[in-house]
Structure 1
Amino acid sequence: MRKLLLIPLLLLIVTSCKEGTKEDITLPGSSGNTNKILAVVKANDWEGKIGDEIRTVFGEHQVGLPQPETLLSVSQIDPSGYKGFIKNSKAILILKKGKDEDISIERNKYADPQIIVHASAKDEEGLINLINSRGKEIIKIFQEEDIKFIQNIFRKQRLDESKFKTIQNLGLSVVIPERYKLVDDTGDFLWLRQHLKSGIARGDGSNNILVYSVPLEEGMDVADNISAMRDAIGEKYIPGSKEGMYMITEAAYTPHTYEVKFNGKQAYETRGKWEVKNDFMAGPFLNYTIVDKENNRLVVFEGFTYAPSVNKRNFIFELEAIAKTLKIK
């Protein structure tokens, strides 16, 4: 009788241990590069109308780059092959048939960090409609997750911003990885540079960060003045190899400017191309101009890339991740 009473107690202890260890499981690290997703979809759907819609929506080109590059790179695997280490992919889109036309999100299910977006609809037509109507939303979900991923890495490699006069004088905080080296720090203008170590640009290519502010004039149309402000800063601080050469906004390419919210403040995001006046150097830039009405100024964070003959999407994306850590104290 005593042994029989012990059995339920032992079962309870074993069950409790299992439940406790399940929460304490250490997930393996995820695999996959930034801005790349794995689509889990049947091969015949991938080759058909569903795949065509995915390639159309996810294959939209990123504005401001000198060569055509898609917002996201998508690879496909059949559901039958979605097993084992494949499930450890960092960004996964699963398309499946279901009752409701909707999307749902899972995080860190098989690996860490990981995001899985489930897109379901009752039939082929519904899936096509879902991708068409909510594709940009899905893209944003993946991109924001990649931004967080990059920022978490950079926080572990952060430069000591107290060493930079401009950051201190402007009353800012920003997470910049330590591989960026100082070019200029006047107290009003900061320029940091990272030499790139990949592709044909090895040794020559660089990612650059600029931080500065300009006065906010009454009645000023900020969006219409961003290129002129950039050109003035370029002439003053970013010279070319000879006299009369300096960085300007490329005259032949109109930048794309969007009004955005930046940590709760009105701001403008501008993507375009820069060039060196009277020279052949050029590349893409990303500019955030933040309206700081409390201090009657515009705070500017700009990233620009020089990487001839290689793709630049991920370089600019890294600069975007850094920019979005900026805060006005």
Structure 2
Amino acid sequence: MVRESLKILLTSCFLLLFLASCTLGGGKNGKLLKSTGQPYEVVLEGDTDSIVTKILTEEVPALPQPEPLCRLIQVKKGKIHGSYLLVRTRIVVNIPAAEFSVGLSRNENASPQTVIRISARSPQQLREKLNPEKLRQLVDEAELEHLASIISTNPSKQNREMQQLVKKNFGISMNIPAEMQASKKAKNFIWISNNASSGMKNLILMKMKEVKSEKRAEEVNSEERRVKKTDAFSAQEKQQIDSMLRTNMPGETDSMYMVIPVLAKRGLWEMKGDAMGGPYVMQRIRRGKTGDEIIIIGFVYAPEMKKKILIKQLEAAISTIK
């Protein structure tokens, strides 16, 4: 009987120790639990006047159909508990407060986690002081960082063969998702795709000859930065990109080919002579030492589904470029 009682007592002690080690928040010595939540899912606490709600549910630009930036889980002020504390992105609105402030903290109850606390004396002050663009940017950057880390921290989710191909031909390191197995290579051009029948994701890398001008010559000769990144394109550069896409991205017939009407950081592509199209994101890298320009384009073709997460996944992959 004494032996059985000791067993029960020891079992209870081990259970209490285990539960103590898994408490929410972890403490200084506790190990944080892994955060939860779908991409762009945000727990929003205390937004009784829906001011922050309207900001975070605005449409994402450069998508063919309306899609809000975030999917919100609304919680009353002071009522957040349990699994909601573990969600990767949380925003807490505190009204009334002594003064307006926006604070950001990391890994309070889980890891990785971003918590944004917004305080204001009144709803009117919140409307006047809060910068909607910066708030959306904070959330977008946190979620893109998470999407990029899914690939970066897990070698099994990377396509090493494609990464080596990109490194060899373009001299850049980039984490390419393992699902993107299909590829096409030409001179100064690589197309990588998951070749999916639903939710097709693609990456294009192309190397261009830099168009010289007095301004560009100054940038090339500058020793301040060896690698330049800009968004503006000249007419000659657009002509080069159009030519490479027409040559390497044909449609079902010779009269069909991929075009990007307006070159920008993000926008819409289309297939000339066909009804195909969708969103794209673009990164431009100029190497000051060699004069080469590398264009990286991520684009989605998914007429049957929403495209925000698909294009954000490609944007996250492009953000890993070194």
TM-score, structure 1 normalization = 0.77
User: Quick one: distance in 2 between partners of 1:245 and 1:39?
Assistant: 46
Q: CA deviation at 1:222?
A: 4.8
- Evaluate the alpha carbon distance shift between residue 62 and residue 137 of structure 1 in structure 2; reply closer, same or farther with a 3 A threshold: same
Do the aligned residues in 2 keep the contact of 1:272 with 1:286 (CA within 8 Å)?
yes
**Which residue is 1:3 aligned to?**
none
1:217 matched to 2:227? The reply is no
Q: Secondary structure at the match of 1:276?
A: strand
Do the aligned residues in 2 keep the contact of 1:289 with 1:298 (CA within 8 Å)?
yes
User: Quick one: distance in 2 between partners of 1:209 and 1:183?
Assistant: 9
**Which residue is 2:258 aligned to?**
247
How do 1:150-229 and structure 2 match up within 5 A? 150-155=147-152, 156=154, 157-160=157-160, 164-186=164-186, 188-195=188-195, 203-219=197-213, 222-225=232-235, 227-229=238-240
**Which residue is 1:147 aligned to?**
144
Do the aligned residues in 1 keep the contact of 2:188 with 2:208 (CA within 8 Å)?
no
Aligned length: 277
Do the aligned residues in 2 keep the contact of 1:303 with 1:319 (CA within 8 Å)?
yes
- Evaluate the alpha carbon distance shift between residue 84 and residue 164 of structure 1 in structure 2; reply closer, same or farther with a 3 A threshold: closer
One-letter identity of the residue aligned with 1:135:
P
1:81 matched to 2:79? The reply is yes
**Which residue is 2:8 aligned to?**
none
- RMSD of equivalent CA atoms: 2.4
**Which residue is 2:34 aligned to?**
29
Q: CA deviation at 1:23?
A: 2.9
Q: Structure 1 residue runs of 4+, over 6 Å off?
A: none
One-letter identity of the residue aligned with 2:169:
N
1:316 matched to 2:311? The reply is yes
Q: CA deviation at 1:178?
A: 1.3
- Evaluate the alpha carbon distance shift between residue 274 and residue 163 of structure 1 in structure 2; reply closer, same or farther with a 3 A threshold: closer
1:130 matched to 2:129? The reply is yes
Do the aligned residues in 1 keep the contact of 2:163 with 2:174 (CA within 8 Å)?
no
How do 1:47-62 and structure 2 match up within 5 A? 50-51=49-50, 53-62=51-60
Q: CA deviation at 1:187?
A: 5.3
215-224 or 168-177: which moved more? 215-224
**Which residue is 1:290 aligned to?**
285
User: Quick one: distance in 1 between partners of 2:207 and 2:79?
Assistant: 53
One-letter identity of the residue aligned with 1:213:
K
Unaligned runs of 5+ in 1: 1-17, 197-202, 258-268
1:6-57 deviation line (CA, Å, top 9, x unaligned) = xxxxxxxxxxxx9xx9433222222212122121015xx2xxxx31x32443
User: Quick one: distance in 2 between partners of 1:277 and 1:313?
Assistant: 23
212-221 or 310-319: which moved more? 212-221
1:68-92 deviation line (CA, Å, top 9, x unaligned) = 1223333321125311111111111
User: Quick one: distance in 1 between partners of 2:241 and 2:62?
Assistant: 15
Unaligned runs of 5+ in 2: 1-20, 217-230
User: Quick one: distance in 1 between partners of 2:258 and 2:240?
Assistant: 12
One-letter identity of the residue aligned with 2:312:
F
**Which residue is 1:103 aligned to?**
102
- Identity of aligned pairs, percent? 22
Q: CA deviation at 1:186?
A: 3.0
Do the aligned residues in 1 keep the contact of 2:199 with 2:310 (CA within 8 Å)?
no
- Evaluate the alpha carbon distance shift between residue 129 and residue 75 of structure 1 in structure 2; reply closer, same or farther with a 3 A threshold: farther
One-letter identity of the residue aligned with 2:55:
V
User: Quick one: distance in 1 between partners of 2:57 and 2:83?
Assistant: 26
**Which residue is 2:15 aligned to?**
none
Q: Secondary structure at the match of 2:254?
A: coil
User: Quick one: distance in 1 between partners of 2:184 and 2:55?
Assistant: 41
Q: CA deviation at 1:113?
A: 1.5
Q: Secondary structure at the match of 1:295?
A: coil
74-83 or 97-106: which moved more? 74-83
- Evaluate the alpha carbon distance shift between residue 188 and residue 295 of structure 1 in structure 2; reply closer, same or farther with a 3 A threshold: same
1:231 matched to 2:242? The reply is yes
- Evaluate the alpha carbon distance shift between residue 39 and residue 227 of structure 1 in structure 2; reply closer, same or farther with a 3 A threshold: farther
Do the aligned residues in 1 keep the contact of 2:190 with 2:206 (CA within 8 Å)?
yes
One-letter identity of the residue aligned with 1:112:
S
